Structure 1
Amino acid sequence: MFPVVARIFALLSGTVLLLLGVGLLNTLLVLRGAHEGFSDGVLGLMGSSYFVGFLLGTLLGPGLIRRMGHIRAFAFFTAAVTVSVLAHLIWIDPIAWIVLRVIAGAAVVGLYIVIESWLSTHAGAALRGRVFAVYMVCNLGALAAAQQLLAIDSPAGYLLFAISAAFVCLAAMPVSATRLTPPTPADGTRMALRGCFRTAPVAVLAGVLSGLAMGAFWSLGAVWVGRLGADATVAADFMTATILGGVALQWPIGHFSDGNDRRRTLMVVALLTALAALALLVAGARYWPLMGAAFAFGGVAFSLYPIAVAHLVDHLHTDEILGGNAALLLFHGAGAAIGPMLAGAAMARFGPAALPLHFMLMTLLLSALAFWHTRRRDDVIVDAPAIFVPMVRTSPGAMDMMSAEQAAHAPTPHPHTS
């Protein structure tokens, strides 16, 4: 395993540098927007526009990469993100920022596709799952560390924007200098969205509803803390604690889901997420209760989407996994694009309490729907039970690594009824 990680170290270091810059920017923008007097509704639209960019990049990025090649595409997307970061200081205007968020979202997912398809090619079939786990640790670790960069300076200044742009530019250096052979761009495998829903409706519902909740979290979590009266440092600690909760609890929750009906697991985890959101509401601006509630919320909320992925894979044949996961990613992305807009409008109308209430509504609805489906029919696995793979939102490129992991661990096919 170590020789493989050493061989792909340039790609992993590029990932860390990229997410230090992007993770800092995503939290910085909502804090700076609040400082500039942008309403919660506008901040929600900014968050939605970022995930709209994610959807556009998911659809258009592979074609651009096939046209340019991986290294030139990485440089192209890096330049787009860097320019968008710095342009926020030139045009401090809500409409301009919404457009820039679309551009940044599309470019960031393009960078994800480049890195993840490259990792998938050079990991080797037998080690793709473990490489994916290392990649997710780098991903979440960088996102958590990026929040602490907010302590360097006030969001009202220019320095944090410069630091964000510098990290994104630095990400291009190890990737451009690597001696790894770029993969041959290939056409993606697709599954019809309607077919995905017919195959595993609970997985699709979980993908959409978790996207509605987590898109709002990524876009408005920091500004929610600010609306409670806390400063940017507390907002950064809140985001870090939530991410660390996701790192710590995804594995045990996922291991539990591997031995049980995943619909019931989704029902329970969604209910726990609603309770954790209630804890956020009760904690308010009190530091340690808020950090504890954030850790618990991240631990359960971050598990919803990967459980949905595993539940979908339970109902797919091996050759359908990649296309099915790409379809589920689109459902999740659509939810993430709508969630910030809904939550931002609710915060503008009802105040900061609307955000944790939004989390509660989405997850209680998911829990109820999952319970209803468990009463309708048994959960019959198609080939063999899937294995849980911790993840955050990603690109179709990562699905190749995950599908290889599922195939490698598949035992002799057998039906399972719960």
Structure 2
Amino acid sequence: MFVHLAPLAALLGGVALLLLGSGLLTTLLAVRGGIEGYGSPFMGLLGSLFFAGFLIGTRVAPALIRRVGHVRAFAFFTSAVACSVLLHEMWVSPWVWAPVRLITGIAMVGLYAIVESWLNSQAAPAQRARVFATYMGVNLGALALAQQLLHVGDAATHTLFVLAALLVCAAVMPVAATRLSQPQIDNAAAPALRSLYRKAPIAFDAAFASGLAMGAFWGLGAVWADRSGLGTSGVAAFMSATIVGGALFQWPLGLLSDRHDRGRVITLVAFAAALLALLPMFALPFGADATATAGLLYGGFAFALYPMAMARLIDRLDPHEVLAGSSGLLLVHGIGAALGPLAAGLAMAALGPDALPMWFALTQGVLALLTSSLLRRVPAQIALQTRFLPMVRTTSTAFELAGTARPDTETPTTETR
């Protein structure tokens, strides 16, 4: 086991360093943007541009990877992210920050594609589930830890930007030193979204609503915490706690969705997330610790919706349709993530910072109503459900690593729909 997993440590170490740097940058921009007096619409636009870069990157990054290879492409995209980090500090201007944030999104999805295709090619079949779980744990753990790096320096100075750039640059070293053979990047077929909606409307709606909410969280969560008066330590605590909640709650909620009709569980989780979205707003008068605890509870339910949507999609597809379908659902989620920050930012400009938790409550509340309605009309066709896999949104290659096709020995549900 250790012979096969040890070489992958270099890739996972590179991912951890990369996400420490990029995760710090995301929250740092929110705090620095407040210092510079940037309004919520612009901060929301930055979040939307980042996820728009994700969508563009899924089309343009594979061509570069195929042309120059994984190691050189990793160095290229990492350099692009590091340069982008420093450009935010060198030219503090909306005209610079906006295009640079788009470039960062393109480069980040390229890096995800490189690492995930590498892990996918190197992981032995018996180890894929373990490697996938470790990879997702590294993702969420690094992003949660990155928030605490705000304590290292003052957001008004260059220190934190330099630290973020150093971490991103350091990510190259373990990857460049690896002796793993380089896999091939396949051409992905364009997903047919209309067909996807017909086959799995609940999964489609849940992925889109999750994108609207999670895109706004990543783009504006720290902005809300900062403008609600929590201070730098409070911002770090709120963001870390929400991410940690998103990691911890996926397992029990996923187990619940394995044992019961997943569509009904998605409805209940969306309804709970809509209610809990307002909790941080009401916890503010009780201090940063109470707000962070409220964020942990909200994140626990909100982060679970996308992997539940993916599992629901797989429930309703034939095995040969799973990879194309997962790519389509990833695209749906990405569209929502690109739209969410801008819409929520405009709402915050009109209604104040508390419009962000209201946005969360609105998107997830509407999802609960939609799925409840769809459950009355979706035909009962499935006798078995696939096993839930905790995950965050990365690229479609991650689903190959996870082994997303539904086997014959899955957990039976107590109901069928």
Normalised by the length of structure 1, the TM-score is: 0.96
2:287 maps to 1:280: no
Measured in 2, the distance between the counterparts of 1:126 and 1:196 equals 30
2:381 maps to 1:380: yes
Measured in 2, the distance between the counterparts of 1:379 and 1:369 equals 18
Measured in 2, the distance between the counterparts of 1:132 and 1:19 equals 17
Question: Residues 213 and 363 of structure 2 are in contact (CA less than 8 Å); yes or no, is this contact kept in structure 1?
Answer: yes
Aligned to 2:344: 343
**1:247 to partner: Cα distance:** 1.3
Which stretch of the first structure deviates more once superposed, 45-54 or 61-70? 61-70
Aligned to 1:176: 176
Aligned to 1:356: 357
Question: Residues 193 and 328 of structure 2 are in contact (CA less than 8 Å); yes or no, is this contact kept in structure 1?
Answer: yes
Aligned to 1:309: 310
After TM superposition, the structure 1 = structure 2 runs for residues 67-82 of structure 1, keeping only pairs within 5 Å, are: 67-82=67-82
Q: Which letter does structure 2 place at the counterpart of 1:348?
A: A
Measured in 1, the distance between the counterparts of 2:9 and 2:411 equals 36
2:94 maps to 1:101: no
Aligned to 2:8: 8
Aligned to 1:295: 296
Measured in 2, the distance between the counterparts of 1:410 and 1:304 equals 25
Q: Which letter does structure 2 place at the counterpart of 1:62?
A: P
2:326 maps to 1:328: no
**1:67 to partner: Cα distance:** 1.5
Question: Residues 17 and 167 of structure 1 are in contact (CA less than 8 Å); yes or no, is this contact kept in structure 2?
Answer: yes
Question: Residues 80 and 104 of structure 1 are in contact (CA less than 8 Å); yes or no, is this contact kept in structure 2?
Answer: yes
Post-superposition Cα deviations, 1:2-43, rounded to whole Å, max 9, x if no partner, equal 433212110010010000001000111111111101001110
* Runs of 4+ with >6 A deviation: 412-416
Aligned to 1:203: 203
**1:362 to partner: Cα distance:** 0.2
Measured in 1, the distance between the counterparts of 2:349 and 2:136 equals 34
- Percent identity, aligned pairs only? 48
Aligned to 2:145: 145
Post-superposition Cα deviations, 1:221-242, rounded to whole Å, max 9, x if no partner, equal 1110111112111101100000
- Supply the RMSD in Å over aligned alpha carbons: 1.6
After TM superposition, the structure 1 = structure 2 runs for residues 101-180 of structure 1, keeping only pairs within 5 Å, are: 101-180=101-180
Q: How many residues align?
A: 415
Measured in 2, the distance between the counterparts of 1:347 and 1:261 equals 36
Identify if the C-alpha distance between structure 1 residues 405 and 194 changes in structure 2 by more than 3 Å, giving closer, same or farther: closer
Which stretch of the first structure deviates more once superposed, 296-305 or 278-287? 278-287
Post-superposition Cα deviations, 1:63-94, rounded to whole Å, max 9, x if no partner, equal 22111211111111011111111111122111
Aligned to 1:30: 30
Measured in 1, the distance between the counterparts of 2:31 and 2:4 equals 40
**1:413 to partner: Cα distance:** 11
5+ residue gaps, structure 2, are none
Which stretch of the first structure deviates more once superposed, 117-126 or 304-313? 117-126
Post-superposition Cα deviations, 1:150-189, rounded to whole Å, max 9, x if no partner, equal 0011111101000101111110111111011011222224
After TM superposition, the structure 1 = structure 2 runs for residues 82-93 of structure 1, keeping only pairs within 5 Å, are: 82-93=82-93
Aligned to 1:255: 255
Q: Which letter does structure 1 place at the counterpart of 2:416?
A: T
Question: Residues 128 and 405 of structure 1 are in contact (CA less than 8 Å); yes or no, is this contact kept in structure 2?
Answer: no
Aligned to 1:47: 47
5+ residue gaps, structure 1, are none
**1:288 to partner: Cα distance:** 2.4
Q: Which letter does structure 2 place at the counterpart of 1:345?
A: L
Measured in 1, the distance between the counterparts of 2:264 and 2:291 equals 28
Identify if the C-alpha distance between structure 1 residues 162 and 112 changes in structure 2 by more than 3 Å, giving closer, same or farther: same
Which stretch of the first structure deviates more once superposed, 247-256 or 55-64? 55-64
Measured in 2, the distance between the counterparts of 1:205 and 1:61 equals 27
